A and B are shown apart, each in its own frame.
Chain A
């Protein structure tokens, strides 16, 4: 078991190092000289020279990479080219706002879709199943910004229950942001839900057809007890992986939805940094996204192992 964990962690670390190199190279590969690209066409040669020096463009690439990654390991991502603030603090502020959305989304999506998935599985091929499957598939097929816009039209414009956009900056308190969190979270949850619903449904159908469930039924247990005590844990297992992957997807999906709602999160920061060519910020966000992705995958694998006796004992039997 230990060797399995070690291998997974090593692979995750390898992926991270590789992605940090790719992020760095991608930024280096931006068309034209980075300094002129950042400063725009009106830049004076003096300003370009000053920025080249600030970005240390005169040093070899591997040295700059070493500097950057060394700083990043200590939480120092340099300072923003546009605002001059430290990238770490800036990204952290936006990231915590996004984390708020992500948390609510995951709560919505996971609880909601597992319940729906189980219902669909239990009522297989009857109307609740058809309804849940169809609606969740529609939710999955429609792009998140359309879902978001429809939600705004329904719940901000037609029924003024929630704010349509966030008018505050990134330093707004959680209390001020809270009313604005629900619609973006719901939009993301709707898009995420279909995968989890499908997975939970299939697992429930499989598990309910298995012998130990039949045994449990024969013992005379109620359907509720069979589902909660016997079927659910096994049915959750494959779902867990899908949930983890969806949380990783959130890192990207949140970018589009945050812009529809003008929500001061990491997605909005990313978009404006790309537009302003704020390289240190882009690098930091790309790296953090990679970390989120890798950690989610790792968590999914390790979680699956913890819940699956076959995987857990494989190391020993070998």
Chain B
């Protein structure tokens, strides 16, 4: 499961160590103050202006020794990618598309051909000027089978690499195989960072891009360092440099933060006990990335009893997402109401069916599954999985559904349980545009379709939506698609959780949403 965030896959041993570490820590710290009620966690990072300069130290989970900086095939090096490269288009803080290397973009009347106008005066870290040839090469590189890019599955049905055109040095024309009014949003994916023409061989180690930082050193699963460009096209970053360190164990990562050895924990959603300890310390605090984690209970629609849509509907109506948010997230999140589009997305549809255990009971009876018993798999892979499963179990009991929560080993969870067991707990990062989300996770036949749901009517609805050039009408169609997923799909979305990020009290200007991170504005105060 390369596309979702892997928080440094920990073994049972290490997970046990993490759990006990946070216990030990909270025992020590809360023991001193005698606090028994859980204090509220801070909402956001400290505001204020940072001092110019300084080096930010980031601890991240190590990926494997095979980690690469080639954006097209990178599965985990998000922090490096965002600092070293730019995309044509990015997602702004409001959730809408914003210009990055492309200053503007427009479709033809049928959204069949897209023209991107590139920013002028942009150079790569090796001094070469950015041209449309680089942008075209980037797309061809993603589509190249040898690259094995996860985004190829999304883009290959749309783009014929031979037909890309570069009429001048700053114009890229992309003819599509089928019309798609949402095409630019697909280029905001973290596999779509622009690399120099012909750089495929070395890019995984050189990291030469157009981003505000350039690579000084990088070791797969080890430390690395990037330094700021003083003359970057988007302005000079506040920081002088960023040091990256790989720390596998989550408790070790938070210890490093508490001891002042690092300033920020990336790709780390702290559990509540650890988060409280961090928030109570003098050196560090917690910043929340709102609705950053999309938690899912996927039902495999090819496995009984979930082959029956009435059972799937009953499973959804049976539980109360507000209860799950309260119990599993201690309120630090938003109920999902089984809609996979996060509330922060401009296309999010607010309407949803109400929690209705009686109707669930009724549907189960009609489907011949009265008093249904199901196994729900979870693991220590993520701290929220088990509380979420238990909250679901508790809530669904009122509809007469008996849920047996089973804990599986964390290190083989995504090879043995995910997409294999009929019902389990999992999560994704949010930050995917609507069309990307539906195409990748809900369209019949997609490799990340974790419910194995295949509905021709839904796929046709998606096709209609992406071909619709009228923005208002298209938004309505994606809204219909959301209703479709809520009513018929196999994915239960109990909630979107805030990511609890451990951060030093010296850090200012921290802003992160989805896969976007503000590398220009982040800095340190009084370091």
Which A residues are within 8 Å of any B CB, using their own CB? 31, 37, 40-42, 80, 82-83, 85, 143, 145-146, 149-150, 152-153, 156-157, 160, 163-165, 167-170, 255-256, 259-262, 268, 271-272, 274-276
Pick from A31, A143, A153, A165: contact of B261, CB under 8 Å: A165
Binding-face segment, B123-131, B215-223, B231-239, B464-472: B215-223
**Is the CB–CB distance between A260 and B252 below 8 Å?**
yes
With A40-B415, A149-B21 known as contacts, the answer to whether A276 contacts B64 (CB < 8 A) is yes
Question: How close is A2's CB to chain B, nearest CB, in angstroms?
Answer: 43
- Inter-subunit contact A165/B221 (CB<8 Å): no
Query: B9 at the A/B interface (Cβ < 8 Å)?
Result: yes
B11 touches A274 (CB 8 A): yes
Please, which residues of chain B bring their CB within 8 A of the CB of A152? 255, 259
Smallest CB gap from B150: residue in A: A42
Most buried by B among A143, A167, A276: A167
Given known A164-B261, A165-B256, A169-B223, contact A145–B248 (CB-CB < 8 A): no
Interchain CB contact under 8 A, B13 and A260: no
A261 and B31 CA atoms in complex are apart in Å by 24
A294 to chain B, nearest CB (A): 24
Also in contact, A167 and B411, with CB within 8 A (given A262-B248, A271-B11)? no
Listed from nearest, the 9 A-B pairs whose CB atoms lie closest are A83-B65, A164-B259, A169-B222, A145-B17, A164-B255, A156-B259, A167-B245, A149-B21, A165-B256
Q: Which residues of B contact A153 (CB under 8 A)?
A: 24-25, 28, 258
Instruction: Give a binary string over B335-353; 1 marks a CB under 8 Å from any A CB, 0 the rest.
Output: 0000000000000000000
Task: Looking at the assembled complex, report how far the CB atom of B382 sits from the nearest CB atom of chain A, in whole angstroms.
Answer: 15
Among B248, B260, B415, the residue within 8 A (CB) of A37 is: B415
Q: Is B42 an interface residue (CB 8 A)?
A: no
Asked if B261 and A163 make an inter-chain contact with CB atoms under 8 angstroms apart, the answer reads yes
Beyond A41-B415, A146-B20, A167-B261, is A271–B219 a contact (Cβ under 8 Å)?
no
Are the CB atoms of A259 and B248 closer together than 8 Å? yes
Nearest chain B CB to A92 CB, angstrom units: 16
Whether the Cβ atoms of B249 and A262 lie closer than 8 Å is: yes
Q: For chain B, residues 151 to 207, give those with C-beta under 8 angstroms from any C-beta of chain A.
A: none
Using CB atoms and an 8 Å cutoff, list the residues of chain B in contact with chain A. Answer: 1-2, 9-11, 13-14, 16-17, 20-21, 24-25, 28, 59, 62, 64-66, 219-223, 245-249, 251-253, 255-256, 258-262, 281, 411, 415-416, 419, 447
Question: Quick check: B256 and A164 within 8 Å, CB to CB?
Answer: yes
Contact B2 A42 (CB under 8 A): yes
Residues of A near B247 (CB, < 8 A) are 165, 167, 262
| Of B20, B64, B222, B258, the contact of A82 (CB 8 Å cutoff) | B64
- Neighbour of B17 across the interface among A157, A167, A260, A276, CB < 8 A: A260
27 A–B contacts from the bound complex (CB under 8 Å): A31-B416, A82-B66, A85-B65, A145-B21, A146-B21, A149-B251, A150-B28, A152-B255, A152-B259, A153-B25, A157-B258, A157-B259, A165-B255, A167-B223, A167-B261, A168-B223, A256-B14, A259-B13, A260-B249, A260-B251, A268-B248, A271-B11, A271-B13, A272-B62, A274-B411, A275-B9, A276-B65
Q: Give the distance to chain B from A199, nearest Cβ to Cβ, in Å.
A: 28
A145 and B259 alpha carbons, distance in the complex (Å) = 17
CA distance A26 to B248 in the complex (A): 26
Q: Is the CB of A146 within 8 A of B248?
A: no
From residue A169, how far is it (CB to closest CB) to chain B in Å? 4
Contact (Cβ within 8 A) A259 B17: yes
Nearest CB on A from B235, distance (A): 30
Chain B, Cβ-Cβ closest to A270: B11
Chain A residues whose CB sits within 8 angstroms of the CB of B253 once the complex forms: 165, 262
In whole Å, how far is B435's beta carbon from the nearest beta carbon of chain A? 22
Q: Are A275 and B11 in contact (CB under 8 A)?
A: yes
Q: Is the CB of A261 within 8 A of B252?
A: yes
* Cα separation A83 to B219 with both chains bound (whole Å): 11
Chain B hits for A261, CB < 8 A? 252
Query: Told that A145-B17, A156-B255 touch, could you supply 18 new A-B pairs with CB distance under 8 A?
Result: A82-B64, A145-B16, A146-B20, A149-B24, A152-B259, A153-B25, A157-B255, A164-B258, A165-B252, A167-B262, A169-B219, A259-B13, A259-B14, A259-B252, A262-B253, A274-B11, A275-B10, A275-B11
Q: Shortest Cβ distance from B217 into chain A, in angstroms?
A: 11
In the bound complex, CA of A119 to CA of B20 (Å): 33
> How far, in angstroms, from A105 to B259 measured CA to CA in the complex?
23
Judge whether A143 and B20 touch: CB under 8 Å: yes
Residues of B within 8 A of A42 (CB): 2, 447
Closest to B22 in A: A149
Task: Verify B221–A272 contact, CB threshold 8 A.
Answer: yes
Q: A153 to B30, alpha carbons, bound, how many Å?
A: 13
Q: Which residues of B contact A80 (CB under 8 A)?
A: 65
For A146, the chain B residues whose CB sits under 8 A away are 20-21, 24
B14→A271 contact, CB < 8 A: yes
User: Complex: how many Å from CA A276 to CA B28?
Assistant: 35
